[in-house]
Structure 1
């Protein structure tokens, strides 16, 4: 079984909580439109947001995390919420893989089916997504990128057993942690901060455990930028792939967002994609 693990932000950490809730709703709708329904979603949060989504596959896990006031606290907030979601998932389904997903990104409707087609025995540590899309819905454009894992945290599918053992220092079966302070004491701080709270060092960390991740080159997620709530200030320059009905339906985007894409836009997007492939190849050689 695959479990999607999401951390949802503190209600007081944004000036427009309803907007953040709607971003989460779009993420969940992209998950619930999967062609293969054999998955679960666990969302660590302060309070369960009011959503008109009633599906037994979606589980909110409320925990008493304080409002973070700096970057380090933001990472630990995200880490603790994901840790609680993971603990809940292990108590209910013991997932084979944990897909770490951000609360405002979108998943291709064939994502789960594609993951089940992989040879899991040859990747006991999990996978990373080498390709994905940067999506700007405000300007209605998208660009495909190589090295997607360097851009976006919604690009890691980790072994449930390996990650759980590392997170709880091998004592997960005997633990039933319910508070923010208790998770900080019970969990490995590096895993909380750098694996569950961030994504840059995860591939190197899993390799250090002798569970290197395997690469998936099919683009399965969209990183939504320019939402007004992104920590990253990344912008999409000129150029876009086709914003046609096929692409929109694949990522559960409203079809009224379709638009014609000029030849110059298409050409610029392909050039940028090729440049990202070169940059990713160089980065992988160094790692």
Structure 2
């Protein structure tokens, strides 16, 4: 079993809720179309968006009671609160492989099948990913994939929180649970705990840029090196194979 967790920002804090909903629907559809049906999707949100497709009981929405954030710091705390909520729900299910997914990125339909075929691994790591700028008809490959959709960790019940912290904070390394630590440091932390993550043998995610509105935009690295790298990488036009694997049905 693999759990996909998606923290979604609130309608009140969105510049364009319709656009947030549009990109979220694309993300949800790409995650839902796994070739292996043994998965669950847990969305933590304030507002349940209007859905474009029909989904079965493997898709679950949890409406949080957290305060509406207004500042950047509050936004990151809000995301951490929602990740925490997802972690508590996965604990109730008994734990398992968990992949946190940014609410605007696209996921390969091969993830669940590969993970479920390797039940003895500590988890998996995606070193590389594709980038897609909204409006383009091509993607580009990138290295040191920076998005929130790059690690899959096998959590036991004991690894996951059973309640909210007395003082909720953003995802930082001082938090006691791995799932609540800084996302980019989780592979290193797992290795230090003797639980190294295994590289995925395929690209699992498309990192979507210029969506204009989501939690993940506050952390997406736009370094000069990455911009130059992207300009030099060859274009990979979105063909039928890419469409099918990442459930791209709007182009």
Equivalent in the alignment of 1:48: 48
Q: Structure 1 residues 136, 193: CA separation in 2 closer, same or farther (over 3 Å shift)?
A: farther
2:106/2:205 contact within 8 Å kept = yes
Calculate the TM-score normalised by the size of structure 2: 0.83
Calculate the TM-score normalised by the size of structure 1: 0.73
Q: CA deviation at 1:21?
A: 1.0
Q: CA deviation at 1:193?
A: 10
Unpaired runs of at least 5, structure 2: none
Q: CA deviation at 1:158?
A: 0.9
Q: Structure 1 residues 41, 115: CA separation in 2 closer, same or farther (over 3 Å shift)?
A: same
Q: CA deviation at 1:211?
A: 2.0
Q: Deviations over 1:161-190 (max 9, x none)?
A: 1xx64553xxx3xx4x5xxx75729x9973
Aligned counterpart in structure 2 of residue 129 of structure 1, from 126, 130, 147: 126
Equivalent in the alignment of 1:246: 241
Q: Structure 1 residues 191, 127: CA separation in 2 closer, same or farther (over 3 Å shift)?
A: farther
Equivalent in the alignment of 2:96: 96
Q: Structure 1 residues 194, 35: CA separation in 2 closer, same or farther (over 3 Å shift)?
A: closer
Moved over 6 A (4+): none
2:2/2:97 contact within 8 Å kept = yes
Q: CA deviation at 1:192?
A: 8.3
Q: CA deviation at 1:249?
A: 1.7
Equivalent position SS for 2:168: helix
Q: Deviations over 1:180-220 (max 9, x none)?
A: x75729x9973489954742211222223332222223101
1:98/1:159 contact within 8 Å kept = yes
Unpaired runs of at least 5, structure 1: 258-287
Q: Structure 1 residues 250, 111: CA separation in 2 closer, same or farther (over 3 Å shift)?
A: same
Superposed CA RMSD in Å reads 2.7
1:75/1:193 contact within 8 Å kept = no
> C-alpha distance in 2, partners of 1:233/1:132?
14
Q: Count residues with an aligned counterpart.
A: 238
Q: CA deviation at 1:68?
A: 2.6
Structure showing greater radius of gyration is 1
> C-alpha distance in 1, partners of 2:177/2:104?
20
1:5/1:41 contact within 8 Å kept = yes
Equivalent position SS for 1:201: helix
> Larger relative CO (CA 8 A, sep 6+): 1 or 2?
2
Q: Structure 1 residues 101, 191: CA separation in 2 closer, same or farther (over 3 Å shift)?
A: farther
Equivalent in the alignment of 1:69: 70
Equivalent in the alignment of 2:186: 202
Equivalent position SS for 2:61: strand
Q: Structure 1 residues 13, 194: CA separation in 2 closer, same or farther (over 3 Å shift)?
A: farther
Equivalent in the alignment of 1:277: none
Would you tell me which structure has more helix in proportion to its own residues?
1
Q: Deviations over 1:116-159 (max 9, x none)?
A: 223x32x33x22111211112312221112322xx111011012
- 1:225 maps to 2:225: no
Q: Structure 1 residues 47, 146: CA separation in 2 closer, same or farther (over 3 Å shift)?
A: same
- 1:158 maps to 2:159: no
